[in-house]
Amino acid sequence: MEYDDLRGFIAKVDEFGELKRIHGVHWDKEMGGITEILYREKAEKSPALLFDRIPGYPEGYRCLYGMLNSPKRFALALGLILPKEAGLMPLLKVYREKMKDMKLIPPRYVKDGPVMENVLEGDAVDLFQFPAPVHHELDGGRYIGTADGVITRDPEEGWINCGTYRVQLVDKNTCLLYISQGKQGRIQRDKYLAQGKPCPTVVVIGIDPLLYVASRYQVPWGVSEFDYAGGLKGEPVEVIRGKYTDLPIPAHAEIVMEGEVSPTEKLPEGPFGEWHGYYAGGRKEEYVLKIKRVMFRSNPILTCAASQKPPHSHLFERCFIRSAGLWDGLERAGCPEIRGVWVHSAGSGRTFNVVSIKQRYFGHSRQVGILASQIPPSGYIGRFIVVVDEDIDPSNLNEVIWAMGTRCDPAQDVEINRKCWGSRLDPLAYSESYYNSRAIIDACISYDRINNFPPVAQSSPELRRELFEKYPGLMREMLFTD
């Protein structure tokens, strides 16, 4: 890897011109608002935003938005070489090749690290010493945990989970942790609470990009994200054993909170502008997270994620990570000839997902669609799965919609699955029964018509090559000049 921690990553991003330092912007709605405005105009072409000199806080206490939201930053984070070919599929294939060769590497325990430059315990803990933002205008409070890692341990099986879940500030040592039902961290937490026991919990706020990628990728049940991040890095992640939780604490993190979730005490949490672009889920009581110890580096950096109506500042990496995860899941389920997968940002990185295949048998496309609708990451609040032929780029909405309009007969090729995995966060949820439904759109040429379907009206590869050779100057001028 070209960097050792978040600060090294930021320095590299600055070197290739994708970091913007901004001074004097307030934590109350202003940082989130500026980030939204910029990313709505430029999406993944925007720089990472590092806010400093935040009113009311010392210089050097910073907030970072858009950490991985460009091809170049994402490639840097994962140690990938950007392919020469244009488009998203070539980079996704490079990412998947690295994942296929990856071997899980468990973390290495050390006695000390940069995160222990400052340690506060008991009454000395004051979470308001950090510039935790109000990210959106209607948020129910300040959210210190958004682009974070929440670490828990399964009380029965002993393995460690690190997931990205939202954390709201209540007072100087009290937070509220929201985890959607069905998520691995929620299942682990609920096991403790069902026994009347507090759940040991660590929250990493200034998180290393690799551990953040691992936290957002749904690794298989029983596999630790620390092992996954170590595999991506090619060496163990250095961790410190938590004094109060016995959980692994990333030694090079910026800010870490160590505490426990109460099995009895609740307070109102939310609302919060969520991944789909709505304040869905409202305000509801959640179990209290009491913080016993805070560790942080001098001049700490908060990693932040403000979700708004797409596009926004952390959709690019979400689409990449989830596209790779869905592709892997389909292959593990035995689906052959997957040629591409894309989880679209227009679907908030979850609700509109496309799979491209080379059809090999009757029912192949329908099989892929049904499986893709139920496995991670589509399994959680999915909405539409579109299956297309191999000649369609699944990341290109023009091609996908063209296939839907010309190869899909709605009466024959749309399936509906009901009572699927939903959540309180679903904007369509209307009761305590959090089900949702899925539409599977088979936009492939019917297998019995593959050999007699009307040919596509486009230039052949031979004609394209001939024109480029005959008119090189003209083609370069037309294609590569803004």
Tens digits of per-residue pLDDT, 118-160?
Answer: 999 999 999 999 999 999 999 999 999 999 999 999 999 999 9
Phi, psi (rounded to 5 degrees) for 295 = -120, 140
Residue type, position 290, single letter: K
For residue 167, the number of C-alpha atoms closer than 13 Å in the C-beta half-sphere is 33
Q: How many CB atoms lie within 10 A of CB 165?
A: 21
Classify residue 332 by burial, with Cβ atoms within 10 Å: 0-12, 13-18, 19+.
Answer: exposed
- Alpha carbon distances (Å) from 320 to 109, 139, 213, 391, 464: 31, 27, 10, 21, 30
Distance CA 15, CA 324 (A): 28
Q: How do residues 115-126 score in pLDDT, each as one tens digit?
A: 999 999 999 999
Q: For 227, what's the count of Cα atoms within 13 Å in the CB-facing half-sphere?
A: 13
Q: Where are the beta strands (DSSP E) in 205-300?
A: 238-241, 248-250, 255-269, 284-296
**Whether residue 260 is found in the same domain as residue 342:** no
pLDDT of residue 420: 87
pLDDT score at 182: 86
Q: Are residues 136 and 274 in the same domain?
A: yes
CATH number at residue 337: 3.40.1670.10
- Edge-first strand order for the sheet with 19-23 is 19-23, 48-52, 62-65, 301-304
Provide the pLDDT for residue 480: 66
What is the per-residue pLDDT for 443? 97
The residue ranges of the chain whose pLDDT is under 70 are 480-482
Same domain, 277 and 409: no
C-alpha 281/C-alpha 426 separation (Å) is 7
pLDDT of residue 409: 95
- Which of 280, 304, 328 is where one domain is finished? 304
CA distance linking residue 193 with residue 209, whole number of Å: 31
Structure tokens at 392: 């369609």
Q: Do 285 and 269 contact (CB within 8 A), yes or no?
A: yes
Q: Are residues 295 and 166 in the same domain?
A: yes
Distance CA 417, CA 58 (A): 53
Q: Are residues 272 and 329 in the same domain?
A: no
**Domain identity same for 376 and 428:** yes
- Dist. CA 70–CA 72, nearest whole Å: 5
Nearest C-alpha neighbor of 6 from the set 252, 333, 298: 252
- Do 298 and 339 belong together in one domain? no
Q: Which residues pair with 293 in a beta bridge?
A: 121, 258
Answer whether residue 200 is part of any domain.
yes
Tokens of 198: 């507090």
Is this structure's pTM higher than 0.75?
A: yes
Residue 460 in domain: no
276 located within any domain: yes
Pair 232, 378 in one domain: no
Q: What is the pLDDT of residue 434?
A: 84
How many whole angstroms separate alpha carbon 227 and alpha carbon 211?
10
Tokens 């294609």 — which residue? 479
For residue 381, the model assigns a pLDDT of 84
The torsion angles phi and psi of 164, rounded to 5 degrees, stand at -95, 110
Q: Residues 325, 281: one domain?
A: no
Distance between the two ends of the chain, CA-based, in angstroms? 34
Q: Specify the pLDDT at position 481.
A: 56
Bridge partners of 167, per DSSP, are 145, 177
Q: In sequence order, what are the beta bridge partners of 268?
A: 285
Domain stop point among 304, 326, 358: 304
Query: What is the three-class DSSP state of 162?
Result: strand
Q: Which domain holds residue 204?
A: 103-304
Number of domains in the chain: 2
State how far the Cα of 415 lies from the Cα of 429, in Å rounded to an integer. Answer: 21
Give residue for tokens 């591409």.
340
Kindly state whether residues 167 and 295 are assigned to the same domain.
yes
Helix axes 71-78, 6-15, angle to 10 degrees: 140
Q: What is the CA radius of gyration of the chain?
A: 23
CATH of the domain at 209: 2.30.110.10
- Which residue's structure tokens are 């507090």? 198
User: Is residue 294 domain-shared with residue 164, that is, in the same domain?
Assistant: yes
Please indicate, yes or no, whether residues 348 and 299 belong to a single structural domain of this protein: no
CB within 8 A of 413, min separation 6: which ones? 441, 442, 443
> Two tokens at 48?
């990472």
Question: How far apart (Å, rounded) are the C-alpha atoms in residues 257 and 143?
Answer: 14
**What is the three-class DSSP state of 211?**
helix
